[in-house]
Amino acid sequence: MAKPTILIVDDEADLVELVSLTLARMNLATESAGDLASARRIMGERRFDLCLADMRLPDGDGLDLVAWIQQHQPSLPVAVISAHGNVESAVRALKLGAFDFVTKPLDLGVLRRLVAVAIRLGDSSGAGETTRLGPQLLGASQAMGELRALIARVARSQAPVHISGESGTGKELVARLIHAGGARRDGPFVAVNCGAIPTELMESELFGHKRGSFTGAVSDKRGLVQSAEGGTLFLDEVADLPLHMQVKLLRVIQEKSVRPIGEQREQPIDVRVLSATHKSLAALVASGRFREDLYYRINVIEIRVPALREHAGDIPELAATMLRRLGRRLGNEAPALGPEALSALGAYGFPGNVRELENILERALTLSTSEHISVGDLQLREGAGAAAGAAAAPGGAALGDQLENIERDAIIKALEQTRYNKTAAARLLGMTFRALRYKVKKLGIE
C-alpha cells in the first residue's frame, strides 16, 4: 500500500521543512504548496489523505481553502495552522469544516497526534462503520434523519460540539454516537457530570493533582480529563461548571494543555471535548455565570436535540423497540401496546422526553396483566398533553424517586405480611406475580 500523503500549504520554507521531516519519521509522505492557487491545482491532480494549511497565505486566507475543500473534496480532512493567540480564526476554520487546528509555534507532539487522528479518519470511512454494534438513534422522522446526518458529519471533525436539548431527549446518546462514529472510537469515552461533583473536589477530579499538593493528596492522581487522552471528554451539564474551572477547561480546548494541581508545568493533552446541558448557555453568559470565551469555544458546532413531542411520529417505533429490550432484560416476552395506549402516547406531551417514555413503558410492563398494555397501565400524567408538554417543569426525577420509595415500602410491607410468599404478596398488592418479581428486582429489595 502507498504511504498516506499529506499536503502542506504554507509559504514559510522553514515550517514546511519541519513538518515534512516530522511526518517522514511517521512514515508518511508529504507534498507542499506555497499558496492557495497551487494548492488547488495540486489537489485537482492527485488525492491526499490530509491537508495542513496555514491561515495566512500570500494570495489569500487559509479559511478560503477550508471552504474550497468542503465544496470540492469534502472527504479530505483539512487542519489549519494558526498563529498563536489567534484562536478566533481557528474557531472559524472549525465552523467551516476543518477537522482540527494547531497553533504556532508548532508543538511537534501535538502535530503528530493530530496527523495520526486524521490518518485514522481516512481509514475508517466506509466499510466497518455500520457493522459495529452499539446504541442507535432510533426514529424514521425527518428530525431524527437530520440528526443522524449531522452526527455523521461532526464525527469526522475534532471540533468541540455542544449538544443542547431538554432533559431526556438523548443528548448523551448523541455524544456517544459522535465518539463512536469518529477517529477516536478506539480511545476512551469519558462522561463527566459537572453537576454531580462537589465544587471543592472538582479541580482535582477533573484535572488531577500531584502528591502532597494539598492535605490529603497522598499520591499523584490523574484527572478525568487526562483519562480521556486519545479519546473524547463528554462534559455533561457543563453549565454547572464553576467559573474558575471554566478557565482551566478553556486551556484544554485552546492550548491543548492541562496543569494538575501542584504541578509546575502544563502537560499536553489530546482530547476532543463534547458538552451538553439542558440549560440555556447563552442566558448564563448574559448573566455572567458562564464565560463568554469558553461559550464560543465549546459551542463551535451546536447540535440541538429535538424534544420527543417534536418528533412524535417516532413514538410507536421507539416504544416497540424499548418494550422488546425490556422484555429481553426480564427474560420473558413483553406485552405489546394496545391501540388506545398507542394513541394516548401519541397525544401525550412527554415533558421528560424519551427517558420518560422508557420509564412509562417500564412501569406499564409491571402493571400490565394481559398481553396488551392498556391506557390505564401507562398512567400518563394529567395535564401533560401535547400542548402542556412544552411548559411542564422538570422535577420528574424527584417525583420518580418518591414513587419508588412508596412502592418499595408497600412491597416490603406486603412481603412481611405474607412471610415472604411472593404469590400471596402479589395478590395482596393487586399485581401479577411477574410484576412483583420484576419490581423486587428493580427496586433492589432483598
Which positions touch Mg ion (CB under 5 A)?
172
Is residue 231 part of the contact set for ligand ATP (CB under 6 A)? Answer: no
Nearest Cα neighbor of 111 from 190, 42, 24 is: 24
- Is 144 an interacting residue with respect to ligand ATP (CB under 6 A)? yes
Which of the 8 DSSP states describes residue 27?
A: T
Cβ 278 to Mg ion shortest distance, Å: 8
CB of 165 to Mg ion, least distance (A): 9
Contact (CB, 8 A) for 103 and 111:
no
CB 358 to ligand ATP: min, Å: 6
Q: Dihedral of the CA atoms 102, 104, 106, 112 (nearest 10)?
A: 10
Cell of 299: 459551542
Q: Is 181 in the site for ligand ATP (CB under 6 A)?
A: no
Which residue among 300, 354, 425, 429 contacts ligand ATP (CB under 6 A)?
A: 354
* 311 binds, options Mg ion, ligand ATP, none, Cβ within 5 to 8 A by partner type: none
Classify 272 as helix, strand or coil: strand
- The one-letter amino acid code at 264 reads Q
Instruction: Please tell me whether residue 381 binds ligand ATP under the rule CB under 6 A.
Output: no
The reply to whether 137 sits near ligand ATP by the rule CB under 6 A is yes
Give residue number: closest CB to Mg ion.
172
Torsion of CA 146, 151, 156, 157, to 10 degrees: 100
From candidates 4, 165, 181, 335, binder to ligand ATP by CB under 6 A: 165
Stretch that binds ligand ATP, among 98-106, 134-142, 245-253, 262-270 (CB under 6 A): 134-142
Closest by alpha carbon to 384, among 348, 353, 356?
Answer: 348
The nearer residue to ligand ATP, 117 or 276, going by C-beta atoms, is 276
* Number of residues binding to ligand ATP, judged by CB under 6 A: 18
Q: Is 320 in the site for ligand ATP (CB under 6 A)?
A: no
Q: Which stretch binds ligand ATP (CB under 6 A): 138-146, 209-217, 250-258, 404-412?
A: 138-146
* 3-class DSSP assignment, residue 102: strand
Q: Is 355 in the site for ligand ATP (CB under 6 A)?
A: yes
For residue 375, state whether it binds ligand ATP (rule: CB under 6 A): no
- What is the spatial distance between Cα 259 and Cα 267, in angstroms, rounded to a whole number? 6
Within 10 angstroms of residue 127's Cβ, the number of other Cβ atoms is 7
Q: Which is nearer to ligand ATP, 135 or 339 (CB)?
A: 135
DSSP-assigned letters across all residues of 196-229? TS-HHHHHHHHH-B-TTSSTT--S-B--HHHHTT
Determine which residue in the list 61, 172, 203, 205 makes contact with ligand ATP, applying CB under 6 A.
172
**One character per residue 235-274, x = contact with ligand ATP (rule: CB under 6 A):** ----------------------------------------
The Cα 214–Cα 232 span in angstroms is 29
Give the largest CA-CA distance in the chain.
86
> Is the bond preceding 4 in cis, omega lying within 30 degrees of 0?
no
Binding window for ligand ATP (CB under 6 A); candidates: 13-21, 288-296, 350-358, 365-373: 350-358
As given in the structure block, the three cell numbers for residue 231 are 479519546
- 208, interface contact from ligand ATP, Mg ion, none, CB < 5-8 Å by kind: none
Q: Binding of ligand ATP at residue 168 (CB under 6 A)?
A: yes
